[in-house]
Structure formats: structure tokens, C-alpha cells
Chains A and B, each alone.
Chain A
Amino acid sequence: MTEINLLPSEYRKKPLTLRNILLILFVILLAGLIMKYACIEPLHKEQDGKQQLGALRQETLELPELEELCIQQKDLFEELNQRFLAFQALEENTPLYWQGILSTIMESLPEGSVLTQFTCDNSILLISGTCPNDKISAAYLRKLTESGHFPEARMEKIVYQQNDEVTYTIRCSLEKGMEGKY
């Protein structure tokens, strides 16, 4: 015997239809997607970011070692530079270097001019000579300047003799690092 139920049909629970089942599945799927893309993935990204930040912080903490390494390398560089300068200085005193200087002095000497004195230390050359007039001595100074061997060349002293003859002294400073040209 089925029991008598006075609950009207409009109050009774509706049976679960296929449409409702599909709707529920769709809602569950949608909720899953929302959960994945709105909650889970951002959380993962946040965790990754935190891990990276942690690694960077760790590296930052290890920085004094890098600084020490940098100082060591700087010291090494300084040492190598010193050795290089020593080698360069050694090369400046080679005969080949001085042959180039001498050739320039002689080849630039104008006709009619005679060198009377030549003084040199590691940085300064003093060239003294005589010539028939001051135009020739000026031409010599110009040629020496234009030769490119001397960063600076100037007339140190000029003495006028009788009949326009002059005695001159030219001061040339020697350039460092000219060894590549010889």
C-alpha cells in the first residue's frame, strides 16, 4: 500500500532530469575552471615569484664574496698593467726607437742648416744649430712638429748673428708609446 501524502505536487521535489544533470556538470566544470585560473594558478605564480625572490636575496647575501673576487681581479689587472708599462719603458730604450727619432731630426733638417748640439734625456730633446736666416729655422721647427713624433716642439732660444745668420735651440718633448710605429 502506497502511503497517502497530502503534500501538493507543486511543493514536491522535482525529479532530477538529464537537463539538470548536464546543467550541474556544466556549473561544476565552470567552477573548476574558475578555481584553476582565478585561484590556483595565481597562487603558483606567487609561490614561484617568492622562490625567485628568495634566490635573489640569497645571492645578495653572497655579494661580499663577489666583491672580494672583484678586488682580486683589480689587483691582478694593476699588476699586469705595471708589468706592461715596464715592458713599454724597456722598449722605449731600444735602438730601433731612437733610430726613428734620429732619422726624423736629420731628414727634417733644412738645407743650409747645421746642427751644433744635441742633448737628450728620457723626455726632452734639445736641438741646437745654425742656419742662414730665421725662416729656415722656422721651417725646421714646423717639419719637426708635423713629423708626429713629438707631441710638442717649440723654439727654446734664437740668437741673431751678423748678416741674418741665426743660432737656434729647439725643444722637443718625447711621446710615450711610440714603440708601435717602429
Chain B
Amino acid sequence: MFIFNNRILSVDMGSHSYKLIEAKLKPELRIMHYGAYPKEQLLEEVPTNRELKRLGFHTRDAVLSYHHSSFMVREMHFPVEDDALVHLSIQDKIQQYETDFKEELDYDYTIRLQEGESEIYHATTVAVSKSINRNYIDQAIGFGLKPLFVDVQINAIQRVIKKAWNFDYLLVDIGYENISVGIGCTEYVPMLKVIPIGYKSLQEDSCQIEEILIQIQSACRQLMQYRRNKSIKNIFKRGILYGGGAYIPEIKNCLKEKIPLEWCDLQALHQFLPLIPDDLDLNIYGNCLGSLLLDEKRQQGGMSI
């Protein structure tokens, strides 16, 4: 039972490998054990819960995160009139997406009043394909885990970056099968764009690198333009590159050359995270670590960290 358990396992269910970090949460976050394992190693072992124990992971309470091209992050605005109307409007919007995409969605959202604006509600909604979401959750249950939370990776990475910097930035996560481009800011993620190509395709055919680079540049420019149109305040100057593909020099060089931002990767954050072991690669484990930094408000979702 989680009330008596101070440990939690964060699982980043990547398409290439699963990254796991087991940590104690009190009195302060302490990483106990971590590792990245090829997906097949965990999926093929029967029973997997024993395999996790063998690998040194003892707790069953887990925070899951994964990334998929069906992820949608949308920002909506509603006048402050009737709270119930806001919830109904969001549900209507989701139903409309389900009709448009012909797919059932699992979703969650947050509603807040922006500073200085007392008349407009800002709702951030995250939705994902229901079948995909449940497939990941059932897989975790199959490992013998008790999922307590399914985190959104772009939110998770934002929690890590927030430990170091308090300004807005462009995020580029080069994953194995997907590349995510998002706008990170101090409070929320207003926009996320997923490109369904990852560094896997680079390994398969080097000729595609140009195409990938064009798509990344395009996504970055779109989001930057979106942000400029929304507000002239807080125009970001920094770009953060992470994920397994952050070490591919072509991508790094291309971004530095084509997108006029100060680029760095997540390893630069180590100096701000004294409790995190130096050998933990933040580019690889960033999402996983971010899920351990969920604030105490998680209790409302059934957790008591």
C-alpha cells in the first residue's frame, strides 16, 4: 500500500528501451537504483515481475510515461461564467476530436486563471488514443507493477528544467520512433508537436536525414511563430535538445545553424541537481526523472507523495 511505501518506480516506456528509476521520496528525493533495458528483455522474460526484482527494482508502485504520435496537447480558453460549462465544453471538444479522428481518447485537463486575467479560464488538455494508453498500462500491470499515475512526458521534462531555469524555452526530444517539439514555460506546456519519425530511421537509411532535419526545423518554426502570435512577452531564447538522438551531431549542428536559439542538452542541468547521481544521463533519463518530481497535488489523483 502506497501510504506505507516511501519508494516509487518511474518507468519511461520508450519505443526502443524502458528507462527505470526507483527512488525514495522522503525526506528528500533519493535515487536508489536505475537502469535502461531493451524493451524485448522485459517483455520476453516470464514472469517479468521477477525479472524486475532480479534487476534490483523492488517497489511495485509506479509512475508511467511514454510517448506516442497520438498525443494531443491543446490549449482552450473559456470566459469565467459557469464552472460546469467549462468542463462540459472540454468534454464536447474531446468528443469532437474522437469523431474527427475516429478513435476513442483517454484525456485529462487542467484549468487555471492566468495571472492578471481574471475573466478567462485557460484549460490545457492532453489526450491520447484510448487503446494505446490502455495497452501501455496493461503492459505495466503485466510486469507486476501498480500504476498510480500516467504522466505526460513533456510535463515531466518541464519539471526537471524548472529546477534549473525559470524562463521559457523550446524543447526538442529526439526519440527512437518519434520526435517531439514543444514549448516549455514556467507554468504549463501550451503546445506540443509530434513528428512520427525518430532516430531509428537514421540508422536504417542515412539518406533520410535531410528530410528529418527539415521536419524538425519546420516544427520549431511553427511553434515559435505560434508563440510570437500569442504574446510578445517571454519570447524564448533557449532551445533544449534531449532524448537518445541528442547525441547525433547532424541534428545538433543543424538546429544550431538553422534555428536562432542558444542550444544545449539536458546534461547541462546536472550542476543544478545535486541529488542526482552524476552518471545518470539526463538526456536519456530526463523524462523518467521528471515523473518523480510530481508535486504533492498528485494526491488528488490518488497518490500521496
Q: Are A5 and B108 in contact (CB under 8 A)?
A: yes
Which of B109, B137, B187, B300 sits near A11, CB closer than 8 Å? B137
Write out the residue numbers on chain B whose beta carbons fall within 8 Å of the beta carbon of A7: 64, 137, 147-150, 301-302
Q: Check: A157 CB closer than 8 A to any chain B CB.
A: no
Q: Are B297 and A6 in contact (CB under 8 A)?
A: no
Q: Contacts A11-B137, A11-B147, A13-B148 given: A4-B124 contact, CB under 8 Å?
A: yes
B16 CB to nearest A CB, Å = 21
Q: Contacts A1-B188, A11-B137 given: A6-B107 contact, CB under 8 Å?
A: yes
Q: Check: A20 CB closer than 8 A to any chain B CB.
A: no
Q: Are B133 and A4 in contact (CB under 8 A)?
A: no
* Separation of A15 and B299 alpha carbons in the complex (Å): 11
Within 8 A of B (CB), among A1-39: 1-8, 11-13, 15
Write out the residue numbers on chain A whose beta carbons fall within 8 Å of the beta carbon of B109: 4
B183 CB to nearest A CB, Å = 16
* Separation of A62 and B107 alpha carbons in the complex (Å): 86
Q: Are B294 and A3 in contact (CB under 8 A)?
A: yes
Write out the residue numbers on chain B whose beta carbons fall within 8 Å of the beta carbon of A1: 110, 112, 187-188, 297
Write out the residue numbers on chain A whose beta carbons fall within 8 Å of the beta carbon of B297: 1-3
Q: Are A4 and B152 in contact (CB under 8 A)?
A: yes
Q: Are B301 and A2 in contact (CB under 8 A)?
A: yes
Write out the residue numbers on chain A whose beta carbons fall within 8 Å of the beta carbon of B108: 4-6
**Dominant SS among interface residues on chain B:** strand
Interface size in chain B (residues, C-beta < 8 A): 31
Name the residue on B nearest A14 (C-beta): B302
* Separation of A52 and B228 alpha carbons in the complex (Å): 94
Interface size in chain A (residues, C-beta < 8 A): 12
Q: Check: B75 CB closer than 8 A to any chain A CB.
A: no
Q: Contacts A1-B112, A3-B151, A13-B148 given: A8-B133 contact, CB under 8 Å?
A: yes
Q: Are A5 and B188 in contact (CB under 8 A)?
A: no
A69 CB to nearest B CB, Å = 67
Q: Are B155 and A4 in contact (CB under 8 A)?
A: yes
B3 CB to nearest A CB, Å = 9
Q: Contacts A8-B134, A11-B137, A13-B148 given: A3-B107 contact, CB under 8 Å?
A: no
A78 CB to nearest B CB, Å = 81
Write out the residue numbers on chain A whose beta carbons fall within 8 Å of the beta carbon of B155: 3-4
Write out the residue numbers on chain B whose beta carbons fall within 8 Å of the beta carbon of A13: 2, 146, 148, 302
Q: Check: B126 CB closer than 8 A to any chain A CB.
A: yes
Q: Contacts A1-B187, A11-B147, A13-B148 given: A6-B128 contact, CB under 8 Å?
A: yes
* Separation of A15 and B300 alpha carbons in the complex (Å): 11
Q: Contacts A12-B301, A12-B302, A13-B302 given: A5-B147 contact, CB under 8 Å?
A: no
Name the residue on B nearest A5 (C-beta): B301
* Separation of A1 and B115 alpha carbons in the complex (Å): 13
Q: Are A4 and B126 in contact (CB under 8 A)?
A: yes
Q: Check: B100 CB closer than 8 A to any chain A CB.
A: no
Within 8 A of B (CB), among A79-112: none
How would residues 110 to 136 of chain B score, 1 for a CB under 8 Å from any chain A CB and 0 otherwise?
A: 101000000000001010100001100
Q: Check: B295 CB closer than 8 A to any chain A CB.
A: yes
Q: Check: B30 CB closer than 8 A to any chain A CB.
A: no
Q: Check: B177 CB closer than 8 A to any chain A CB.
A: no
Write out the residue numbers on chain A whose beta carbons fall within 8 Å of the beta carbon of B150: 5-7
Write out the residue numbers on chain B whose beta carbons fall within 8 Å of the beta carbon of A2: 110, 297, 300-301
20 other A-B residue contacts (CB within 8 Å) besides A1-B112, A6-B133: A1-B188, A3-B151, A3-B294, A3-B295, A3-B301, A4-B152, A5-B149, A5-B298, A6-B108, A6-B126, A7-B148, A7-B149, A7-B301, A8-B133, A8-B137, A11-B147, A12-B148, A12-B302, A13-B148, A13-B302
The 3 lowest CB-CB distance pairs between A and B, nearest first, are: A6-B150, A5-B301, A7-B150
What are 8 A-to-B residue pairs whose CB atoms are below 8 Å?
A1-B110, A2-B300, A5-B108, A5-B149, A5-B301, A6-B108, A12-B302, A13-B2
